[in-house]
Structure 1
Amino acid sequence: MCQGYADDIVIIARGKIESALCDIVQRALTLTKRWCGTVGLNIKTAIIPITKRGKLPAMHPITLGGIELEMCNEVKYLGVRPIATYGAVAWSQRITFNTVRASLSKVQRRACTCITGAMRTCLTAALEVILDLTPLYIVIEQIAKKALLNFMKEGTGRGKVISSRLGYEIRSKIPISQLNRDDMSTTKIFEKKFRIELGNKATWNETNLENTFKAHTQRWFTDGSKTDEGIGAGIFGPRAKISIPLGNYPSIFQAEVYAISACAEIILQRQARLQHIVICSDSQAALKAISSCEIKSRVVWECVARLNILGENKALQLVWVPGHKGIQGNEEADRLAREAAAT
C-alpha cells in the first residue's frame, strides 16, 4: 500500500458580483476535483468570503462532489512566512538594513490588507497589532538564532559550521546559549539493573500498587511541576520531604526525570539497608525515556546511570502511578514540587 499527500493550494476569485464569483469558484473546484480523481487524491477544502459588506444575499451554494460546502469565518493557509523565512540563517544579517526591513514589511502588509480589507492609509504596525502578527524581520531573526544555536551544539572552530569568532559573538548576544545543553548524541544503553512497570489509567488500581509494596520495601514518590514562577521537583519518602527549585529554563519533562535521578542519589547517599526499593512517578514520558535503549538527553543519561548504580545491590523498581488520584505519596510529592516551582 502506498500513500501520498499533495500540498495546500488556494483558489482566489475577486469581483463585485457575488453570483459571478460563485460560478467562477464552482468551475475551478469542478476542474480541481476532476484532476484529483485522475491521480487518486481526495480534497479537503474550506470557503471564506472576504468582504466589507455585512450581508451577501446574491451568493448561491457551492458544491464539491455533490455536497454543499459551508462558508467559514476563518481559514489557515500556510504560504507567505514559510517562503520568506526559508534559509533565514544564511541571510538574516541583511535584515539590519532598513531597505530589507521595508521590503519584508511590504510583503506582510499585503497579507494584512487582504485579511482585514483595510484602506491604504492604515499603518502596517496597526494592522499587525490587530491581527496579532509579529513583524516579519523579527520572525526571521528568531528562526535564524534558533538555527545557529542548533549548529553550536556541535561545537565551534575549525571543521565546524560555526567559526570561533561567530560563536563568541553569538554567546555575547544570546546569554542563554552559554547554558549547558540537555541534548546529546544518541547513546545506547542496553543494560538496565532495574525494572520499570508502566500502566495506564484504564487498567491501574490501588490493589496492584499495594501488591508491589511488599514487606520490607522502601517507598519513594517523585514529581515535577511548572508554574508561572518557575519549575520545581519534589521528592517524598522515608524521613524525606524535599523541594528542589530548578529555575525557569527546564521543561516539565526534565523536571520529572531530574526528580527521579535526585531520588536515586539520595537513596545512594543514605546507604539504605532494605533490599527492595520502589520509586513511583506519575510521568509516563519520563519512565518511557528511562526505559528506552536510545538516549538523547543528558538528564536521562545521568538518571539511568544513577539507577544502574543503585540497582547493583538493590531490587529496584520504577512504577507509574496516576496523578491526582488521592495517592498520599504522590500528592505529597506534587505539593513539594509546586512549592519548589514557586520559589
Structure 2
Amino acid sequence: MNRRPITALSLAEIHPGQPATSKPEVTWIKPTELLVDAAYQRDLSDPSLRLIRRIIERWDWRRFKPPIVAWTDDGLEVIDGQHSAIAAASHPGIDVIPVVVVEATARSDRAEAFVGHNRDRIAVTAAQMHVAAVAAGDPAAQSVARVAAAAGLTLLRLPPARAVYKPRETIAVAAVRGLITLEGEERAIEILRVLTEAGLGPITAAQIKAAHHLCTDSQFTDLDRAGLTQTIRATPARLVDQEAKEHAAVHCVPLWRGIAAVWFKAARKKVPRTEARSPSRAAKGGITIPAWVPDDLIEDYRDVASLEGEERATSHVRKLKRKAV
C-alpha cells in the first residue's frame, strides 16, 4: 500500500490567516432551495452545460463534492460548487445533498471566497490523471502503461525540477494514447521505440506525431526504423528544434510536420547514391521532378513534395533559387 498520513509541512516564512469566527457546519438540503448570485457567479456556458450533463450521467456519491454555501437574508447561497448543485437539482433520483455552511454575511465576503476557490487550486495534469486511471483499472490507461513499458518509455507525473529530463522520459500521455488509438498497441510500441532507442529526452507530443508520420505514411516506405533511429540520435536536438520551427513558420504547418521534415532530410542525406552524379528525375512515390528544377535541388524538391505536396515544393525550390541568385 502507498497510503501515508497527512502531516504538517515545515514551510519557511508563512503567515497563516486567522481562523474563521465559527466552524463550518455540514447540513443536508434540497438543491433546488440553494441560491446563486449572478453578480459574481459564472454564467452557464456550453462547456458548463456539458459538465453538468456528465455529472448527471455519471453520478457517483464517491465523486460528489459538497458545495460551499453561506446564509443570506434570502436563504443559503452557493459560493463554490454551482455545477454540482445544478446537476443534483436536475437529477431525478437526488432529493437532498450535503452542503458545507460557512460564515460570509456580506456579498463582498462571498465574492472574495468565490475568487479564492477558483484561484487557489492546482489543476490535475493529464499524466497525474493517467496514474490514477491505471490504479482504477481503466482499460485505456492500462493499455498506455503496457505500451510505454514495452517501448522503454518512462511516463512522468510532473515535469522534473528545472525541466531537466532524462532520456526516454515524457509527460505526453495524451499523445501516446492517441497513437494507440490510431495504430494499436503493437504498432505503437514499434513507433515509440524509434524515439526511445534514439535516447531523446523529453519525448514530446510533436516528436511522437512526427515519428508516427514517418513510420506509417506511404511516402516514406524507403525509410527503415533502424535508420531513422540512428538519424534522430545523430542529429542535435537544438538544431532539429530550430529548423523545425523555421520549416513550420515558412510552410504554415504544425511543428510536428517541421520535425518530420528535418528528420526526413537528415535521413535522406545519409543514403548513399549508387547511380549517376545527378539524382534521377524519374517518378518516385508518385512525384516526378519538373525539368526546371536544377540538379542540385532535386532532392530538396522531392523531400518537400513528399511531406507537403508538390505546390509547396515548387515554392520552396524557387525561393532557394532566388537566394542563390
Same fold? TM cut 0.5: no
Higher relative CO (Cα under 8 Å, sequence separation at least 6) belongs to 1
Task: From the two aligned structures, give the one with the greater helix fraction.
Answer: 2
Question: Taking structure 1 as the reference length, what is the TM-score of the superposition?
Answer: 0.25
Question: Taking structure 2 as the reference length, what is the TM-score of the superposition?
Answer: 0.26
